[in-house]
Structures are given as C-alpha cells and as structure tokens.
A and B are shown apart, each in its own frame.
Chain A
C-alpha cells in the first residue's frame, strides 16, 4: 500500500476537514469565542483529522501489503487466499469473501475441465487399443496373402501404426498422471525393438543401420524410450540425403555420472536458424516445408517425454552433413547402493 496514493485517494477528507474547519471558525467568530478556545479546538480538530486519515491506513496496510507480496511470491498466485489470515476490517472482509467465492467457483471449473480431459484421455487410450485390433488383422492378412499385398501395403500400415502411437504418447505425456515405470533396462534391447519396428523402411531406403557398443543398463521406461527413439529414427529416414551411402549410427558414451545415447545420421541436417525450434510444438521448419510430411509433433512429444523421465535430449546438426541427437540418462547412486 503506497502512502502517497492512499493520501491522494483520501483527498476528499482534506476538503471536508477544511470546509468544516472554516465554518467552525466562522461560528467561533460570530459568537466571539476567545482565542484560547479556538486554539485548543483547532488542536483537537487536527488530532481527530489525523486519526481519521491514518488509522484506517494502518489497519488495512498489513492485509493489502501481504496480499500483493504473496501474489508476486507465489508461482501459483491463485493460491494466495490460503496464505492470508482473515482481515479485521469490513472492506477487507468483503474482499476476502469475494475472493473465496471466486476461488471456489474457479476450482469447480478447473475440476470439471480436468474431468473432461481425463475422460477424453481414457477414451483416446481405449480407442487406440480398439483400432489396433483391425490394424493387426490387416497386418496378418497382408502377411498371409503376400501375393496380393506387397511392401507398399506394409509400409503404409506401418505409417498408420506410427501415427496412432504418436497420439497415444501425446495423450500420455500431456497428462499429469504417471503412466510410466522406471526400472533398469538394457539399451541394446530397446534399440533392437526399435530397429525391428523400422526395419522395412530402413531397408527400403537403403540406409545402413549401425549399432556399436550399446550393452549398457540405464534407468528408464523401455516403452517410452522405444517411442522416443522411434521418432528420432523416423526423422532420420524421412530426411535422408540422396547419396550413395546413408547411415544411422547408434552409439553410447558412458561418463561417471551419466550415460549418453547418441543417434547420428548423414541426412539433410537442419539449418542453424531452425535448430533451436525443432523441439517446439508444430514446428516443421524448412525441411518440413520441403518434404510435406511433417507434423512437427514427433520431437515435441519426445522432448516432453524426456523431461518427464528426467533425461536430457539434445540435437546438433550441420545442414547437408549430419544430424546428431543425444539422450542423456543420469545414473542413480542411491539405486546402486540398494543393489
């Protein structure tokens, strides 16, 4: 509460005081009251005036100052009411009551929206499981009737599956609730699963899939990591360069405190101006505009998932040379002690 602003707001009290005082003086003069009486009553007037002016200021000051300070301190400022004690002046009580009611109705609103979101998420998850059944049937049928369905069908089915998975993980990682299980897993196994999943596309595009020294254990959720790796490898396939020898190379670097998984390709790379934004939602950049196949969601979801799992994801690239994505897993000393 700013004293200057408060005084300005109470300017009318000055005027009221002056008017009253002038009338009073006129009355005193009219009745020819003695100087002593005028002086002492002036003195009383002034005391009264200052009391009227400043007592409310000091009564309100603490409440409003706390309110403003706590709002700026809290990172969720809507919780401010919880930090304040109920004020002891009428205006404050009204404000407090109003804030309380507003909070309550907003909470209800938020709860409703959360409920909607949760229902929607559950529906999406269920829908994905349902849609996977006809999809698996299609995969089986195309496999059982190879003479009618060639690799093209297979690749399209794979694309369909990829997009479905993307929705699933988007729904999962956007939600506050915990949908993952972190345990010690073998990196080579995850890489194998991702490799097998993308094998047809890798071979179709004549890309060499090189995996070196990946026999490491890390703490993560294997399904989530499979998805993240899948997004990165998908990009490598999508943005390959038209050259004789293309590769995707996966290696692991182990340091004392952390393990880093590196996925490198010699594809078209990413322009420096785009590099900072590749993890942004719906960002497609120059490469996306050129190939017309980007949703701009893959890396965004991958980044979010890494954040949730506590991994660091980084990207380096040189246009027309290479792209290098690294995922860093922290080692947990506490976990080692437990073993």
Chain B
C-alpha cells in the first residue's frame, strides 16, 4: 500500500512495484487513512511523513497500537533525528527521497522476508523448476545433488529468481551486491554470472540464464 500525497509519484511508484510483481493499493482519502489501511490490510505500507490531515508519524503511532503491518517510511527529510524518531515509533525501515528504485525494491524485499519468517519457516526456501534453492544455507539442490553457491552468486540467483522471465539489468544486479557491501566492478559481475551458469549447468540447467545484449540477463 502506498501512502503519499503527490499523485504523480504515487503512480510511478505503483508502476515500479507492479513491474516487480507486487500488487499495489493507493490510499485515496487521507481523512480516513486509518480505516482505509485496516480495510486493505496490506502486507507492507510505504508511508510518506508529509501527508495531509494527519502526520505520517502520528498515523504510524496509531497504527502500531493495533497492527504489526510492516511500514517503510519514505521521506524527503534527510535527518538523523527524524530517522531515529520514525524507528522508535515502529517503522521497519526509513528511506529518503530521491531513492534509488533498485534499493527501494531490495529494502521492501528484505522487510517482507524478515516479517514473513516470523510466521513461515520456509520463507527462505525457493524453487526454480524442480530445483530447490535455500537462501540461508546458500545451496541449490536437485534430487540428491547439492551445490554450494558463494555469497554473490546467491544474491544474483535470488534476484533473478524474484524477477523470473523478466530482463534484469547489470546495474540492478550490481546494486543488489553492493547493498550487501561487496563492492564488485563490472568484470567481477561477469565472472560471477559465468560461475553461476556453470554451477547450474552441472545439475542440468544449461542456458538457464540468458544474456540480452545491452539490456541485461533473464532467467527463463
């Protein structure tokens, strides 16, 4: 759910999220924000601090009294005090405008995964065709063959898997890896992708990752 008073930003944001396989709802009536949220009961809320009628922080405080819906604060105020305050009111993350869209998506993914693991122990298990991918263990498994992936390969594979059948740009992959603090360059990414390809080949998935020249990669 997106709570934001600027309609253009709202639409672009929802387009971005829908392009990445999320369903979005936009809050319409700020006067009735609280009830509208509870009615929609979203998996996650992107909340702007400066919204009409009710301050984002107050809304968050009220919401926390009745609900644990994950909230990411999105704001143009880049200040430590503000961030500390938002977190203390119960925000799960805090992102400042203008944000890098890839990073926003990564944060959303991280918050969702963190909150989902509370109910569902299998949130770290993914499947690709008949292959099992365990993020926490960093392994891919088919039948009885298990292959361990390196940290960067895990990130690349899970990112591709989350965007299956969509073109993923090299930029996005590098951003995802930098986000876990491994500052690789262009060449290293190529090396990592090739290694991942070879490992997939070993268990019978030849050409799973396709190169689209000038655009990026695609996992089919």
Contacts and interface: CB of A to CB of B under 8 A. Distances in A.
Interface of A: 128-130, 132-133, 135-141, 143-144, 146, 157, 161, 165, 168, 179-181, 183, 188, 191-192, 195-197, 199-200, 203, 206, 208-211, 221-224
A140 B178 contact: no
B76 A144 contact: no
Contacts of B175: 196, 199
B151 to A, nearest CB: 15
Nearest to A191: B181
The size bracket of the interface on B is 20 to 34
A146 B214 CA distance: 12
Nearest to B19: A144
B190 interface: no
Interface string B12-45: 1101100100000000000000000000000000
9 contacts: A129-B76, A133-B6, A133-B9, A135-B97, A136-B76, A181-B80, A195-B183, A196-B175, A223-B79
B174 interface: yes
A223 B83 CA distance: 10
Given A132-B76, A132-B98, A140 B12 contact: yes
A126 to B, nearest CB: 10
A196 B99 contact: no
Contacts of B84: 181, 183
A199 B174 contact: yes
B80 A136 contact: no
Contacts of B77: 129
Contacts of B6: 133, 137
Interface string B48-76: 00100000000000000000000000001
B98 A196 contact: no
B124 to A, nearest CB: 22
